[in-house]
Structure 1
């Protein structure tokens, strides 16, 4: 009898569980709204949403490559003539970063990972790794083929604290004789339409690209310190910085391209309030270092190489002299 009674109780439990499952299924199926819609009603997806971070890690971020580099080297048309900004960044960063090994960089606007790269030498000579961000699909495919030893993401950095799809300019057919000597530099002007000049917009095709907040990308990788942040995102730099906690990710050195030179002082003052000091400038290119950083102590007591037109400690040298 005890056995029969036990089986009866078990059956009742099974029936109750099945009934609960059925009721739950009916509730879900009869609800005319998806979880996605209900979440969207609460506002834009936050930068640290667990599902977003999981999606970025599994679907967006490409792990560092293994094996030998696949670089063009001297065959790269874009390296035949170094731009002044390339020389400036190369000399300034080599002085600031010196022999530091094993650091972490973020380079946004990474192009093909070789042409105009500010970080390739850090991988090859100093054992650094990092994150390469490039929104242009053609450039990104070339970047992946270089086998860089860093994470890579084919997205644009969002000028908002949440992900969104936005219009991105895309170079039309390369303009004749300039296409060969410039190589991938031809695609360096691509950027979000809302920050592009009328000339760029007028000469472009357009595509919708996925934009993601830099904070989300860094959190998905578990990054806690960024030794070097290079932002060359064609006018969206201020918006990207406004939504990046420089202290949370312990950013040490910051490189910015700021084409509107009349606004540079405002930018420098704003970053000074966030703990950064301008140490080098060449026209539209700025280099800032966190106060108290290990890199601040690496500044020389004499001026840097003349070609870079940069600095003694706490003295900013520009193309027109020092300030």
Structure 2
């Protein structure tokens, strides 16, 4: 019985202790929660809306408050929309400034003048023209300005002879180590057939040196040339007559030892303007000068053969090559064989009916004999020449 009563007492104490512990734990938990809430409230950032309201209120208070400059006390401004302007303070008087001396510089050189002077600088540094190039430019200018005025002058007219000497004939340059001889030899080796006629001529003339040749129809000065071999190997002087602009450009480059005439031989005993067809090596006179839509046609001044001889002061020709694509029989009768001595002539073979008979008649009359007839040329040799 006593044990049972003690057990109940012990149970009651245990339950009371449990209740007390629960109360203590709840109180501790409540206190910690309260502390966390306070710290959270203290650390919580202010909301943007609240900050804006506080800033507006602060700015409003500053606008309504004005400080007196003397005792630095705030003065409340009256409620009004008008803006009170502060009185302007008098500006301090400035000392008179010293006069400034302005130094004027000379005006800069205009850009236009500088650009105009640039070509002069280039001209001084560019390669100077050779004497022959200067001569070509000078004579081309004279020919263009006064060439047409020579039309109709007789082949012996001193005015025409002087004009031919001054405006047409381009003199050779003296031989130099840098001349075009090596290039010419190379070009000749490419076309050995071009030297067949020259080989026969030099054979008939017993390898004559320092001779003079007239080649009319010189084309480009190299291709099918009858004069180039004699000029290089036997020191002959050449007169190359060619009216085709395309051929003349090459002649002026490579035949610096020759006389050059950028004209055609006249088919009349007077100077005349003619229409010339620039057709490669087959260029020829097509008729009187005129306007043509054909781009290969050019108007050129034609000079008689005897005028050229007088302009060069020649009374003899060792070899005359006449190749003018069909006009040979118009030129041949105009040669005065009594005034000019010709040893050998080659005349192009055109295989025209009656052409050879007329040619033989003129040549026999002037003491020439037909020595060789090839598929290209007839070779005539003067009877006074002693053959090897």
TMscore range, shorter length: 0.5 to 0.7
Q: Which runs of 5+ in 1 are unaligned?
A: 1-35, 172-186, 196-200, 299-323
Cross-structure match for 1:226: 317
- 8 Å CA contact 2:246–2:278 kept in 1: the answer is no
Q: How far apart are the structure 1 equivalents of 2:295 and 2:360?
A: 31
Q: How far apart are the structure 1 equivalents of 2:256 and 2:184?
A: 14
> What is the CA distance between 1:75 and its match in structure 2?
6.0
2:304 counterpart (192, 213, 237): 213
Cross-structure match for 1:297: 387
Residue correspondence of structure 1 range 51-62 to structure 2 within 5 A: 51-62=159-170
- 8 Å CA contact 2:367–2:382 kept in 1: the answer is yes
Cross-structure match for 2:371: 279
Q: Deviations over 1:114-149 (max 9, x none)?
A: 221111121111121131101111211210111332
Cross-structure match for 2:180: 70
Aligned residues: 234
Cross-structure match for 2:243: 135
Instruction: Identify if the C-alpha distance between structure 1 residues 194 and 218 changes in structure 2 by more than 3 Å, giving closer, same or farther.
Output: same
Instruction: Identify if the C-alpha distance between structure 1 residues 287 and 65 changes in structure 2 by more than 3 Å, giving closer, same or farther.
Output: same
Q: How far apart are the structure 2 equivalents of 1:150 and 1:164?
A: 25
Q: How far apart are the structure 2 equivalents of 1:81 and 1:126?
A: 19
Q: Deviations over 1:31-80 (max 9, x none)?
A: xxxxx9xx99xx9311121121111111110001233432544764x863
1:80 counterpart (172, 190, 193): 190
- 8 Å CA contact 1:88–1:282 kept in 2: the answer is no
Larger radius of gyration: 2
Cross-structure match for 2:281: 188
Q: Normalising to structure 2: TM-score of the pair?
A: 0.55
- 8 Å CA contact 1:47–1:215 kept in 2: the answer is yes
Secondary structure of the structure 2 residue equivalent to 1:105: strand
Residue correspondence of structure 1 range 78-227 to structure 2 within 5 A: 80-83=190-193, 86=194, 88-171=196-279, 187-194=280-287, 205-227=296-318
> What is the CA distance between 1:154 and its match in structure 2?
0.2
Q: How far apart are the structure 1 equivalents of 2:327 and 2:263?
A: 14
Q: How far apart are the structure 1 equivalents of 2:295 and 2:278?
A: 5
- 8 Å CA contact 1:56–1:217 kept in 2: the answer is yes
Cross-structure match for 1:6: none
Instruction: Identify if the C-alpha distance between structure 1 residues 233 and 121 changes in structure 2 by more than 3 Å, giving closer, same or farther.
Output: same
Q: Deviations over 1:208-247 (max 9, x none)?
A: 1111001101101100101100001111111111111122
Q: Which has the higher contact order (CA 8 A, sep 6+)?
A: 1
Secondary structure of the structure 2 residue equivalent to 1:140: helix
- 8 Å CA contact 1:102–1:126 kept in 2: the answer is yes
Q: How far apart are the structure 2 equivalents of 1:82 and 1:194?
A: 34
Q: How far apart are the structure 2 equivalents of 1:204 and 1:272?
A: 41
Q: Which runs of 5+ in 2 are unaligned?
A: 1-145
Question: RMSD in angstroms over aligned alpha carbons?
Answer: 2.8
